[in-house]
């Protein structure tokens, strides 16, 4: 099923491009998927499910809780159900079953009341290619019935500067690079202060410098009091900007909590730096260090219950076996380790 992108201030249940090609106006403990949520959650779902025609189950019984004031990372590989979930939350598609509330109101029943309080960039920006970047934002702002037209020009210029497009505001959108289009879509979501900002892969198409700038902007918006719901398949993005996160895989929610608590679920690893990797792996296996992995000049293994008091003895055993130890110690688990342990899948770290 093909779904159209949505960008800017989402103001109705239909998004993306119309028939004429016009863009539509547009700290918590680690929990199990079924744990109770706070009454102050900005987003809450219970049993949210979407099955497309043909039987494809895109989202399966999702119980999600997004605390107010958080920068919430919605984490999972491409195809894990993240965008489908966001489209249900924004009232763009109807759930097969289950319930969702956004800003305390049921969706999609309350789209008219809720969406003017939400800024969104979903599946990339939908733009008028024949208009300049500035004129695109003017159109987006004019589609917001709550926007004061007397201050429109000021809002548009401020949004352009905020995303680094001030110098390119007079260029036609069709001439924009993918990264510039992504910035313009983000600018449309930032035309006015919102209680909730929903971003689906906001750094898609950006170079490393652009990614850093968007991350800084997300932090800035959050500091101003906006709850940010950020979907990404980049672990590095989640770790750098998010306070909380949830992990999706194959349409199901595996776990949610603070980023620090999720990373803490990963086991520590023992790391040995040596040119004698094969011999070091044999010694580690003999001393019950789990599944040693050999890399160029490095051997890692699961530390398990291995305490720091056991490290000197293990290092001595390596040396006695003839291993030339150039480095030795415990390495703390990362969010990447936790994700792989949860899903058994590889994952992008920084794109």
CATH of the domain at 80: 3.40.50.300
- Residue 123, domain member (yes or no): yes
91 and 73 share one domain: yes
134 and 30, same structural domain? Answer: yes
- Identify the pLDDT of residue 307: 65
Q: Band of the pLDDT at 308, cuts 50, 70, 90?
A: low
Q: Are residues 134 and 276 in the same domain?
A: no
Q: Are residues 145 and 290 in the same domain?
A: no
The confidence score (pLDDT) of residue 133 equals: 96
| 325 inside domain | yes
CA neighbor of 154 nearest in space, from 167, 171, 172, 138: 138
| pLDDT band for position 104 (cuts 50, 70, 90) | very high
Q: CB–CB of 253/34 below 8 Å? A: no
**223 and 324 co-located in one domain:** no
Q: Are 98 and 192 in contact (CB under 8 A)?
A: no
Dump pLDDT digits (tens) for 26-65. 333 344 444 444 568 999 999 999 999 888 999 999 999 9
The verdict on residue 138 lying in a domain is: yes
Mind listing the pLDDT tens digit for each residue in 112-141? 999 989 999 887 788 999 999 999 999 999
345 located within any domain: no
Q: What's the rounded Cα separation, in Å, for the pair 328 and 270?
A: 8
In a domain, 239, yes or no: yes
Query: Do both 14 and 32 map to the same domain?
Result: yes
Residue 336 pLDDT exceeds 50: yes
What is this structure's pTM?
A: 0.73
* 173 and 69 assigned to the same domain: yes
CB proximity list for 76: less than 8 A, separation 6 or greater: 82, 233, 247, 248, 249
Cα–Cα distance, 233 to 77 (Å, whole number) = 5
Which of 264, 281, 298 is the last residue before a domain boundary? 264
CA–CA separation, 85 and 251 (whole Å):
9
Q: Do 3 and 54 form a contact (C-beta atoms < 8 A)? A: no
| Lowest-pLDDT range of 10-14, 57-61, 269-273, 317-321 | 10-14
108: preceding bond cis by omega (within 30 degrees): yes
The residue among 235, 264, 293 that closes a domain is 264
Q: State yes or no: pLDDT of 19 exceeds 70.
A: no
Burial zone of 13 (CB within 10 Å; 0-12 exposed, 13-18 middle, 19+ buried): middle
Domain match, 47 and 105 both: yes
| Residue whose C-alpha is closest to residue 97's, from 141, 33, 60, 48 | 48
Judge if 168 and 280 occupy the same domain. no
Calculate the average pLDDT of the chain: 83
Q: What is the CATH number of the domain that holds 313?
A: 3.30.70
Instruction: Give domain status of residue 216, yes or no.
Output: yes
Please tell me whether residues 207 and 275 are part of one structural domain. no
pLDDT at 11: 39
Domain span at 326: 269-332
The answer to whether residue 344 scores a pLDDT higher than 70 is no
Based on the structure, what is the number of domains in the chain? 2
Cα gap 120→118, rounded to integer Å: 6
């Amino acid at each position: 099923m093909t779904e159209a992108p949505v960008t800017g201030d989402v103001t109705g249940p239909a998004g993306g491009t119309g028939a004429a090609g016009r863009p539509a106006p547009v700290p918590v403990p680690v929990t199990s998927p079924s744990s109770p949520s706070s009454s102050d959650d900005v987003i809450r779902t219970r049993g949210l499910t979407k099955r497309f025609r043909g039987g494809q189950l895109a989202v399966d019984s999702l119980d999600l809780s997004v605390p107010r004031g958080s920068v919430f990372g919605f984490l999972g590989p491409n195809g894990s159900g993240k965008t489908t979930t966001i489209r249900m939350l924004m009232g763009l598609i109807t759930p097969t079953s289950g319930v969702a509330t956004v800003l305390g109101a049921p969706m999609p029943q309350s789209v008219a009341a809720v969406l003017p309080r939400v800024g969104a960039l979903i599946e990339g920006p939908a733009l008028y290619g024949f208009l300049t970047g500035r004129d695109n934002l003017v159109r987006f702002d004019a589609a917001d019935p709550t926007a004061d037209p007397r201050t429109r020009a000021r809002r548009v210029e401020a949004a352009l500067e905020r995303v680094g497009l001030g110098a390119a505001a007079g260029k036609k959108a069709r001439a924009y690079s993918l990264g510039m289009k992504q910035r313009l879509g983000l600018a449309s979501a930032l035309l006015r202060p919102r209680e909730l900002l929903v971003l689906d892969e906001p750094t898609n198409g950006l170079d490393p410098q652009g990614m850093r700038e968007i991350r800084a902007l997300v932090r800035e918006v959050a500091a101003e009091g906006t709850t940010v719901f950020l979907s990404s398949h980049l672990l590095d993005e989640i770790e750098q900007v998010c306070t909380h996160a949830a992990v999706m895989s194959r349409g199901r929610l595996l776990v949610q909590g603070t980023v620090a608590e999720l990373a803490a679920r990963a086991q520590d690893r023992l790391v040995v730096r040596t040119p004698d990797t094969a011999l070091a792996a044999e010694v580690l296996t003999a001393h019950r260090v789990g599944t040693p992995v050999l890399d160029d000049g490095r051997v890692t293994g699961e530390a398990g219950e291995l305490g720091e008091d056991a490290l000197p003895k293990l290092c001595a055993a390596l040396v006695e076996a003839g291993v030339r130890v150039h480095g030795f110690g415990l390495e703390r688990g990362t969010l990447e380790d936790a994700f792989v342990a949860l899903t058994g899948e590889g994952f992008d770290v920084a794109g």
